[in-house]
Structure 1
Amino acid sequence: MSCSSTLPVSTLPVSTLPASTSPTPSVPDAPEDYPWTGQAVRSALLLSTGIADLDPDGGVDAPAEQQDRPLVDVAAIEAGLAADGAAPLAERTLVVAVGSNQTPETIARKYARSGHDLHPATPFVRCTIHDLAVGHCAHISARGYIPAAPYRAQGERMELVATWFDDEQLAVVDETEPNYERIHLEQESFPVTLATGERPRHVDVYASVWGVLAHEHPIPLRHRQQEIFDELVALTGSELVRGDAAEICARLEAAPDALQTLVREHSLVAEDGLPRG
Structure 2
Amino acid sequence: MLPGNTLGNTYGTAHCMGVDLTVTPWLYPGRWPVRSGTLTTEGWFPGDVVLAEVALDGNRTPVVAVGSNASPGVMRGKLRASGVSETVPFVRACVPDIATSFTAHVSPRGYIAAAPARQAGAENTMWVSFLDADQLAVVDATEVPNYTREHVSAPVTLDTGDVLPGYDIYRSAWGLIPDLSFTRDQHAVLTHLRSWCEVPSLPLGDAETVVRALWTDRDLADRVSGELHALAAADGY
Same fold (TM over 0.5): yes
- C-alpha contact 1:184 1:205 (8 A) present in aligned 2: yes
**In the TM superposition, what whole-angstrom CA distance separates every residue of 1:128-184 from its partner, at most 9, and x where no partner exists?**
111100000111111100000001012222111001100001100111112111101
Query: Aligned with 1:176: secondary structure?
Result: helix
Instruction: Give the drift of 1:27.
Output: 6.1
Partners of 1:154 and 1:213 in 2: how far apart? 19
Query: Aligned with 1:270: secondary structure?
Result: coil
| 2:25 alignment partner, one of 31, 35, 45 | 31
Higher helix share: 2
**In the TM superposition, what whole-angstrom CA distance separates every residue of 1:194-242 from its partner, at most 9, and x where no partner exists?**
111122111000111111110xxx4111221111111111123735242
Judged with a 3 Å threshold, the aligned counterparts in structure 2 of structure 1 residues 185 and 237 are, in CA distance, closer, same or farther, namely closer
- C-alpha contact 1:128 1:194 (8 A) present in aligned 2: yes
- Paired residues in the alignment total 221
- C-alpha contact 1:11 1:52 (8 A) present in aligned 2: no
Query: Aligned with 1:246: secondary structure?
Result: helix
Give the % identical residues. Answer: 34
Aligned match of 1:47: 40
TM-score, normalising length: structure 1? 0.72
Partners of 1:260 and 1:124 in 2: how far apart? 32
TM-score, normalising length: structure 2? 0.84
Aligned match of 2:185: 224
| 2:194 alignment partner, one of 193, 209, 233 | 233
Partners of 2:96 and 2:34 in 1: how far apart? 16
Larger Rg: 1
Aligned-partner residue type, residue 69 of structure 2: N
- C-alpha contact 1:233 1:239 (8 A) present in aligned 2: no
Partners of 1:47 and 1:143 in 2: how far apart? 26
Aligned match of 1:77: 51
Q: Which runs of 5+ in 2 are unaligned?
A: 10-16
1:186 aligned to 2:179? no
Q: Which runs of 5+ in 1 are unaligned?
A: 1-7, 18-24, 55-71, 82-86
1:204 aligned to 2:163? no
1:152 aligned to 2:118? yes
- C-alpha contact 1:41 1:160 (8 A) present in aligned 2: no
Judged with a 3 Å threshold, the aligned counterparts in structure 2 of structure 1 residues 90 and 130 are, in CA distance, closer, same or farther, namely same
1:169 aligned to 2:132? no
- C-alpha contact 2:5 2:46 (8 A) present in aligned 1: no
Judged with a 3 Å threshold, the aligned counterparts in structure 2 of structure 1 residues 89 and 13 are, in CA distance, closer, same or farther, namely farther
Aligned-partner residue type, residue 225 of structure 1: Q
| 1:141 alignment partner, one of 68, 86, 107 | 107
1:263 aligned to 2:231? no
Judged with a 3 Å threshold, the aligned counterparts in structure 2 of structure 1 residues 139 and 185 are, in CA distance, closer, same or farther, namely same
Query: Aligned with 1:91: secondary structure?
Result: coil
